[in-house]
A and B are shown apart, each in its own frame.
Chain A
Amino acid sequence: MVEKIKKKAGHCWKMFQKQRQLWLLCIPIIIWVILFAYVPMYGLLIAFVDYMPGMSVFDCEFVGLKYFREFVLSPVFLQLLRNTLAMSVMGLTFGFVAPILFALCVNELKNGWFKKCVQTTSYLPHFISWVVAGSMIFMLLSNEGIINDILKRLHLVEEAIPFLTEGRYYWVMYTIANIWKGMGWASIIYLSAMSSMDSELMEAGAVDGMGRLGVVRYVILPTILPTIVVQWILGIGGILNAGFEQHLVLGNASTQNYWDVIDTYSYRYGIQLGYYSIGTAVGLMKSVIGVLLVWATNWFCRKKLDTAIF
């Protein structure tokens, strides 16, 4: 065993000697990662103490898992979890598929100028802030908004549909708004994967008599599958991130039952009330669950799809 370790260490050292110039170049990045990604992690200790700003974390009273318990036992925990998971799952289901479909459609466009035009236009919503998007959505969907006006004029409804003031519409509205805002931008990675595709494969498919759908199904999708899987694994890791500023902009008192998610709770209690320990505990819990989910999904994808991140 010792011999084996020694052998491995020797091998590593040899590799390091061989790649020392590369390692030298990496030093600034390694320092950066240590300084800005690992050193701040000591702040996670705040989750386990009664933290008071201005005092050293080490001088604060240790309270163990008190804030984790408080969060899990809080009266709104189940509601927060429901809202977070519901919106995340809807995002992962529809929001994940939309950019792939969009990329496939754009890829089929032959006119170069038109294709670029569609692509650029699709990126624009990504650059609109949620505050502006919120105002646009209010103008569209409020009880006196454009959509309700059209529906009434077409005699499709007698009374306005309360899209913004009735909770049951919120998740759908949120998902659609997210797709509208992010679809074009998220499609870039798939378009880039498609652009690196071997064109001979497509030609071979065409020669074999595959139609457009056949080429998509048997050539394009398998080619971009690794990209899809990577995106999926990362998406699963963020399942407890169901938006934040969107809810502060789009939500109101009538719909809070449906938009209040873990992050908005954490903001109210952690930042607004100044209970950093609660905010940190909630954040840490989310991160741990996220990492576990990434591992599990990665393991599943490696077993079943033969593709994984690590």
Chain B
Amino acid sequence: MRKKKSSLIAAVLIAGLLAGCGNSGSAGVSGSAGESGGTDASQAQAESGQGSGNFNEFGWEVPEETLEINILDASGSYAPTEAEKAGEENVIAYFKEKFNIQFNIQHIAGDGTEAVNLALASGDYPDIIRNLSFTTMEKFVKMNKAVELTPYMDNIGADVKASMGEHYPLFLDNDMKLWYVPTLMGSISELPDNSAHIRYDEWQAIGAPEIKTPDDYYNALNAILEKFPTTPNGETRYAMSLYEDPDPATYSGFWGLKNGYKVDDEGNFTYWAFTDEGKEMTKFFNRFYQDKTLDPDAFANNFEQWKAKFSSERIVGAVGGWWISYNAGHEVWQSMDPNMPEDKRFVQISFKGENAEGAYLSGKNYLGSSCTIITDKAKNPEALMKFINFQATDLGKAISGWGIPNGTPIGDTGRTGKFWNIDENGNWEVDSEAKQQLVTETWSYDDEYYWQGVPWLFMNQSRWEDGEHNIWPNQMWYEENKWKSMMIENMAGTIFDASTYTLRVKSDEVKLAEQSVKDAWKMNWPIAVQANNDEEFEAAWTKLQDALTVAGIDKIEEAYSENYKKAMEKMGQ
């Protein structure tokens, strides 16, 4: 009896174990609708996505049978809010109804690159991958798992090619073949990425001294600090603060470097830490530290901690993205006090080192920083390319950037919201109320999630040919917004085309050296900034240079120089 019992238990356990082994899932990837993968059924439907002759108001030829588009979004760290989830559901339903397209979108909750590498290893990836890094894209190409797009560029992909414009040759590989489209390319040439910030009302209170040089900025911030040394709650204020991942390469733009490099006439690159300009930049921050007006937690703050400090008025000045003082400044204050004085806000300003030709703070990379590929799983890549091309048209950009037109319910609030309207004949306009709210900065960014969420496969964020519109609802009509106009005016001349400065596909040697270099400056630059005296500063600066040399900065300088020269050659310059 005991024998039988133990045999039975063993058999059950073995069966359980084997049953457990039978299931495999794709860890870290969550599907929002349907199943992924290029199934025969979905491909059969995809094939029908051509040539019905029935065009909708967006200019899309609606297929007779549903076109399934299976997408893996490789951006990672997907943690949507309820509003974002609802937005994606609304978009999926809208595209099914109006376009007869079924989006099946997989998102990645963890690290995007890691998940895509695993997907590649297991062969479990769908027809399209968007937001893919260039390095991972290269792996797909090397393994013949990406579809070549060059043959489509003069026919069903013509709008994509037109969008790429003069930069088209830079997307091609050495054999002049196109394997991907950028997920997001182009730029708004007058919109800065980075700037210095100063509290406008306080700047006026000290007599609005002119700020043209780093010294001017330093003096203005300290003058404000002297006049308003504490917050209304009596807390200490600091002239300058930073938060996680400070970016000395960008900061060196105030001293005339571009993307952190000094480029000579022959196209040779020198890293900021080996230039006088880079040293001046570091001394600028060190001066705040030595004067004890730099936030002592400047290198320990994460963005949320920094935002808490900034929004409680403890920081007088900052350098970084143009939006940081919106997000952590007056947008917070306005939400707490609708009657807040209009000029209690930060403004974006620029200055340049005395010997610098100009301040180069925003290197616009028209080529994009991630890409979309059609994989070998797609049995009818033409149908997918057709949709990608639709996103290059004006109405494709409108629905992808501005979201669902004509009104979408905002959760269960009973309200509806929209940015634009379109009628059955394809006549469209930006909603006048929405425009007014954006111009007066009373627009609810929380509401717009409900009509946003179209997966971008190819998107060009440059201004349209009409010179007015672009995909970002809040980046139009600058002239009608006093503060945006001021920013554009203040930051004129700080924006440059950095497409040729961008090294997208890197060799293993360069990639490893780049990580080592990043480690080296991340470890040593803060020490130089936090040096207690000039002697300590010099020692820290030498240590930084030594660490960068050992880390292989020469390999990176060489790779960037070579890439720049090749890119200039490709563009015929």
For chain A, which range describes its interface: under 10, 10 to 19, 20 to 34, or 35 or more residues? 35 or more
Instruction: Give A10-58 interface residues, CB cut-off 8 Å to B.
Output: 21, 24-25, 27-28, 31-32, 35, 52-55
User: Cβ of B7 and Cβ of A24 under 8 Å apart?
Assistant: yes
User: Cβ of B117 and Cβ of A269 under 8 Å apart?
Assistant: no
User: Cβ of B123 and Cβ of A25 under 8 Å apart?
Assistant: no
Q: Verify if A164 is at the interface (C-beta below 8 Å from B).
A: yes
Residues of B within 8 A of A (CB): 2-3, 6-7, 9-10, 13-14, 16-17, 21, 111, 113-114, 117-118, 120-121, 123, 135-136, 139, 142-143, 145, 236, 244-246, 296-297, 299-300, 305, 508, 511-512, 515-516, 519-520, 522-527, 530, 547, 550-551
Question: Which chain B residue has the least Cβ–Cβ distance from A26?
Answer: B10
Q: Determine which of B114, B136, B246, B305 lies in contact with A138 in the assembled complex, contact meaning CB atoms within 8 Å.
A: B305
How does the 8 Å CB contact mask read for A182-202 relative to B, with 1 for contact and 0 for none? 000000000000000000000
28 inter-chain pairs at a CB distance below 8 angstroms, sorted by A residue, are A24-B7, A25-B10, A28-B14, A31-B17, A52-B139, A52-B143, A53-B117, A53-B118, A53-B120, A53-B121, A53-B139, A54-B139, A54-B143, A75-B516, A76-B519, A138-B305, A142-B300, A143-B296, A162-B296, A164-B297, A164-B300, A165-B530, A253-B299, A254-B526, A257-B523, A272-B114, A273-B512, A274-B113
Q: Kindly list chain A residues whose C-beta atoms are within 8 Å of the C-beta of B143.
A: 52, 54-55
Q: Verify if A111 is at the interface (C-beta below 8 Å from B).
A: no
User: How near does chain B come to A86, taking the closest CB pair, in angstroms?
Assistant: 16
In the docked arrangement, what's the CA distance between A55 and B122, Å?
Answer: 9
Most buried by A among B111, B296, B511: B296
Q: Verify if A256 is at the interface (C-beta below 8 Å from B).
A: yes
Given contacts A54-B123, A54-B139, contact A271 B114 (CB under 8 A): yes
Q: Kindly list chain A residues whose C-beta atoms are within 8 Å of the C-beta of B520.
A: 75
Question: Which chain A residue has the least Cβ–Cβ distance from B121?
Answer: A53
Q: Kindly list chain B residues whose C-beta atoms are within 8 Å of the C-beta of A74.
A: 516
User: Cβ of B530 and Cβ of A254 under 8 Å apart?
Assistant: yes
Most buried by B among A76, A162, A254: A254
Q: Kindly list chain B residues whose C-beta atoms are within 8 Å of the C-beta of A257.
A: 523-524, 527
Q: Kindly list chain A residues whose C-beta atoms are within 8 Å of the C-beta of B525.
A: 253
In the docked arrangement, what's the CA distance between A21 and B139, Å?
Answer: 52
User: How near does chain A come to B83, taking the closest CB pair, in angstroms?
Assistant: 24
Known: A256-B519, A272-B113. 18 other contacts (CB 8 A): A21-B2, A28-B17, A31-B14, A35-B17, A53-B120, A54-B120, A54-B123, A75-B550, A138-B300, A142-B297, A143-B296, A164-B297, A165-B526, A252-B299, A253-B526, A254-B527, A256-B523, A275-B512
| 8 nearest CB pairs, A to B | A143-B296, A28-B13, A54-B120, A53-B121, A53-B117, A75-B550, A254-B299, A254-B526
User: Cβ of B17 and Cβ of A252 under 8 Å apart?
Assistant: no
In the docked arrangement, what's the CA distance between A111 and B30, Å?
Answer: 52
In the docked arrangement, what's the CA distance between A21 and B2, Å?
Answer: 9
Q: Kindly list chain A residues whose C-beta atoms are within 8 Å of the C-beta of B136.
A: 274
Q: Verify if A160 is at the interface (C-beta below 8 Å from B).
A: yes
Residues of A within 8 A of B (CB): 21, 24-25, 27-28, 31-32, 35, 52-55, 70, 74-76, 138, 142-144, 160, 162, 164-165, 252-254, 256-257, 260, 268-269, 271-276
Question: Which chain A residue has the least Cβ–Cβ distance from B142?
Answer: A52
User: How near does chain B come to A182, taking the closest CB pair, in angstroms?
Assistant: 24
Question: Which chain A residue has the least Cβ–Cβ distance from B551?
Answer: A75
User: Cβ of A144 and Cβ of B117 under 8 Å apart?
Assistant: no
In the docked arrangement, what's the CA distance between A42 and B414, Å?
Answer: 58
Q: Kindly list chain B residues whose C-beta atoms are within 8 Å of the C-beta of A162.
A: 296
User: Cβ of B300 and Cβ of A54 under 8 Å apart?
Assistant: no
In the docked arrangement, what's the CA distance between A257 and B527, Å?
Answer: 10
User: How near does chain B come to A67, taking the closest CB pair, in angstroms?
Assistant: 11
In the docked arrangement, what's the CA distance between A31 and B11, Å?
Answer: 12
Q: Kindly list chain B residues whose C-beta atoms are within 8 Å of the C-beta of A273.
A: 511-512, 515
User: How near does chain A come to B101, taking the closest CB pair, in angstroms?
Assistant: 29
Most buried by A among B7, B511, B515, B519: B519
User: How near does chain B come to A40, taking the closest CB pair, in angstroms?
Assistant: 13
User: How near does chain A come to B233, taking the closest CB pair, in angstroms?
Assistant: 13
In the docked arrangement, what's the CA distance between A102 and B135, Å?
Answer: 52
Q: Kindly list chain A residues whose C-beta atoms are within 8 Å of the C-beta of B508.
A: 275
User: How near does chain B come to A170, taking the closest CB pair, in angstroms?
Assistant: 12
User: How near does chain B come to A245, taking the closest CB pair, in angstroms?
Assistant: 14
User: Cβ of A54 and Cβ of B121 under 8 Å apart?
Assistant: yes
User: Cβ of B21 and Cβ of A143 under 8 Å apart?
Assistant: no
User: How near does chain B come to A33, taking the closest CB pair, in angstroms?
Assistant: 11
Q: Kindly list chain B residues whose C-beta atoms are within 8 Å of the C-beta of A274.
A: 113-114, 117, 135-136
